[in-house]
Copies of this chain bind each other. A is one copy, B any other.
Amino acid sequence: MSQFHLHPQLKRDTHRIGALALCDIRLMDNALFHWVILIPRVADCREITDLKPSQQHLLMDEITRVSEAMQQFFAADKMNVAALGNQVQQLHIHLIARKKTDAAWPNPVWGKGRVHYHPFKREKLIGSLRDAMGL
């Protein structure tokens, strides 16, 4: 049985916020959007259907917990929740707190540009998100 390793591209594109029972929680390094990624720490997992039913329910619980925190923290107009993985095939779930004023609204965020966070601002945001998520 192989061990879980975070995919190198997810590692490069995101920064650690914390961990729940199933998933790592990471901030997408794109200051244009309020964008968090959940990654189940399960080896060789590409699809939600690769998880066991109990893990699928736990994933839903963690999506809900992180979504609620983001909705409130960012005063989101809409949450976008998506498992795509066409480019990085390790299962990861995008949680994006959308604002009607954001750079892509009302379209999806993918392919709409990227601006790296200033490291100081990023670390401050990660601290605030840890508090908001009760981590």
Residues of A within 8 A of B (CB): 46-49, 53, 56-57, 59-61, 63-64, 67-68, 71, 78-87, 89, 98, 105-108, 110-111
Contact = CB atoms under 8 A, between A and B. Distances in A.
Nearest to A80: B84
How many copies of this protein are present in the complex?
Answer: 2
Nearest to A60: B60
A84 to B, nearest CB: 5
Nearest to A76: B47
| Closest 8 A/B residue pairs (Cβ) | A82-B82, A86-B106, A60-B60, A81-B83, A57-B57, A80-B84, A56-B60, A108-B110
A79 B82 CA distance: 11
Contacts of A105: 86
A67 B80 contact: no
- Interface of A: prevailing SS: mixed
Contacts of A71: 47, 49
A114 to B, nearest CB: 15
Nearest to A79: B47
A108 to B, nearest CB: 5
A67 B81 contact: no
Given A56-B61, A80-B82, 8 more contacts: A48-B63, A49-B64, A56-B60, A60-B60, A80-B86, A81-B83, A82-B84, A86-B105
